[in-house]
């Protein structure tokens, strides 16, 4: 199974965090994941709200990047994107939400239904150990790309051949019980 055909991620963020978001995007693209970011996909003449809405609905993953800078903003369209993603996740049951912390901060308590909030979804910390956080995101995408919720009922039986390598971060050999052998060789 190829992730290039399976994984499509929409990244939601505030402009102040664009440099770190671009780094994350590059890791995902290097791993064969199609990534949608407004700055790269919106072109003049498009109805941008409609394009964003459609891209979120078409995604299999919604990666929401939070930071202290997010909380300093009085208003951001990111909140609208998050609500679209939550509605899509609840209605279509085909999207996975991955909250990401770019800095030490809280995840907002947006309701996701059934007495749950975003706080109930496991988040990824990129601020403590960037490479470990990226490995965790890639592991989640590999694992969740092949789960029955994304329409592949037989995927539980056929997960032994997935291998991703991006730069010096490798994820490989997903075994039949969903465990990942993750390794890294990080150098600066």
Torsions phi, psi for 70 (to 5 deg): -60, -45
The predicted-structure confidence for 55-77, as pLDDT tens digits, reads as follows 999 989 999 999 999 999 989 99
Angle at which helices 78-92 and 48-58 cross, to 10°: 40
**Whole-number Å distance between alpha carbons of 125 and 56:** 22
The predicted-structure confidence for 94-124, as pLDDT tens digits, reads as follows 889 999 999 999 999 999 988 999 999 999 9
Record the tokens describing residue 12, joined without a space: 């939601």
- Find the length of the chain: 188
pLDDT at res. 153: 42
**Whole-number Å distance between alpha carbons of 187 and 24:** 17
What is the b/e burial string over 75-92, where b = at least 16 CB atoms within 10 angstroms of the residue's CB?
A: ebebeebbebbbbbbeee
pLDDT at res. 156: 39
For residue 39, how far is the Cα from the chain centroid?
Answer: 17
pLDDT at res. 95: 86
pTM of this structure: 0.78
Record the tokens describing residue 121, joined without a space: 């979804």
What structural domains and CATH numbers belong to the chain?
3-157 (3.40.50.10140)
Q: Which of 177, 55, 67 is nearest to 124 (CA)?
A: 67
Task: Write out residues in the chain with pLDDT < 70, as ranges.
Answer: 1-6, 146-188
**Whole-number Å distance between alpha carbons of 126 and 49:** 28
Q: Which of 146, 141, 155 is nearest to 35 (CA)?
A: 141
């Amino acid at each position: 199974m190829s992730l290039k055909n399976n994984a499509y991620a929409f990244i939601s963020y505030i402009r102040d965090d664009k440099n770190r978001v671009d780094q994350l995007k590059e890791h995902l693209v290097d791993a064969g994941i199609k990534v949608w970011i407004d700055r790269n996909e919106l072109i003049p003449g498009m109805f941008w709200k409609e394009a964003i809405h459609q891209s979120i609905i078409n995604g299999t993953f919604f990666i929401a990047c939070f930071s202290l800078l997010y909380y300093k903003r009085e208003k951001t369209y990111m909140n609208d994107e998050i609500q679209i993603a939550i509605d899509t996740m609840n209605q279509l049951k085909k999207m996975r939400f991955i909250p990401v912390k770019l800095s030490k901060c809280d995840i907002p308590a947006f309701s996701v239904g059934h007495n749950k909030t975003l706080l109930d979804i496991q988040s990824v910390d990129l601020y403590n150990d960037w490479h470990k956080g990226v490995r965790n995101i890639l592991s989640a995408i590999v694992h969740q790309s092949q789960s029955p919720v994304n329409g592949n009922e037989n995927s539980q039986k056929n997960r032994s051949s997935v291998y991703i390598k991006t730069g010096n971060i490798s994820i490989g050999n997903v075994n039949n019980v969903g465990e990942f052998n993750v390794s890294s060789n990080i150098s600066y």
